[in-house]
Amino acid sequence: MFRVLVLIIFTPVLAWASSQTVACSHPQVCNLINDMAPQMQASLPEAMNGDPHLYSPSPSSIKKYLNVDVLIAAPLELNPWIERIVSMRKKQNKKSYILKRKDFDHLKVSKESLAHFWLNIDSLCDAHSQLNQFFDFKQMECPYLVFKNQLAIELAKWKEAIFILGHDAMTTLLISNGLKALPIVGGGHDHEIDSRTMKELVKLTQSSQSVVWIEEPPLHFPYSVLIYKKKQDLLFKIKVDGVIGESPTKVLSEFITALKGAKQ
């Protein structure tokens, strides 16, 4: 009986996937779609090398984005260039959807941090719900909720630490779990670091609390920031964008693994 029900639920997905081509604007959008329905084989038209925030699609990539049956895009704060392509597709009456970021009214974080939906389970589940509705998958509750408790338990062990972030991608995760985090505003994307951030950096690094530095390759801490890193401070290098073909929770899993290793 259970097998029959499973087939009834997923048959529309299989039928839909077999007749449509799906492209996405970010590796983690592809990973979420393919985790929900592997048969869709959602893909990026081309690899995004270097800083994804500075990425600009090539003419051949734009052509592929325009020709696929369905385009699913990350929130515009991550891929602002996709808006024009979606607008062009709309004139051609082609299906497109831009994921909406989940806002947390009680958190003072940037819109760009909120747009990194795979770095916060609530945001990831919200994106899962949006795709569920768009594709009419009729799937049940978000499968990533089981990871949320594990994440909270591990992060709770770092309540007394200060996190210095090379960018703001992981700010939402840390602050929503009650941790102190300072994103280096302007630390990446060729922007100047503002004086307010530098003053806060000096203040935090002079405290007696443990300091954890998180670098997000290909972005790196500039020398003007790294000079405040003490010998006993921890430094983690987390590739927050991940790569296509992984689980949507892979980046968070690797982060937790790094934290556990540091506690041993």
For the cut 90, the answer to whether the pLDDT of residue 29 exceeds it is yes
Segment 25-54 shows an average pLDDT of: 89
DSSP symbol at 43: B
For the cut 90, the answer to whether the pLDDT of residue 19 exceeds it is no
Ordered structural domains, the chain, with CATH? 2-135 (3.40.50.1980), 145-263 (3.40.50.1980)
Structure confidence at residue 130 as a pLDDT band (50, 70, 90): very high
Q: What is the pTM of this model?
A: 0.88
**Which residue, 259, 255, 198, is CA-closest to 227?**
198
Among 3-12, 127-136, 202-211, the minimum mean pLDDT is found in 3-12
**Which residue, 237, 186, 233, is CA-closest to 205?**
233
For the cut 90, the answer to whether the pLDDT of residue 106 exceeds it is no
Task: Give the integer Cα–Cα distance in Å for 144 and 8.
Answer: 23
Average pLDDT, the chain: 88
Task: Give the integer Cα–Cα distance in Å for 157 and 227.
Answer: 27
Task: Give the integer Cα–Cα distance in Å for 3 and 9.
Answer: 10
Strands (E), 177-228: 180-183, 211-215
Segment 11-25 shows an average pLDDT of: 68
User: 3-state DSSP call for residue 232?
Assistant: coil
78 or 192: which carries more pLDDT confidence?
78
Q: Can you list the alpha helix ranges (DSSP code H) found in the chain?
A: 2-18, 27-36, 59-67, 82-91, 111-115, 121-135, 145-155, 171-176, 195-205, 223-226, 250-263
Which pLDDT score, from 0 to 100, does residue 138 have? 79
User: 3-state DSSP call for residue 152?
Assistant: helix
For the cut 50, the answer to whether the pLDDT of residue 9 exceeds it is no
Sequence-distant (≥ 6) Cβ neighbours of residue 34 within 8 angstroms: 40, 41, 42, 245
Segment 127-131 shows an average pLDDT of: 96
Segment 2-13 shows an average pLDDT of: 42
Which pLDDT score, from 0 to 100, does residue 137 have? 86
Segment 25-42 shows an average pLDDT of: 95
Tell the burial category of 243 from Cβ atoms under 10 Å away from its Cβ (0-12, 13-18, 19+). Answer: middle
For the cut 90, the answer to whether the pLDDT of residue 16 exceeds it is no
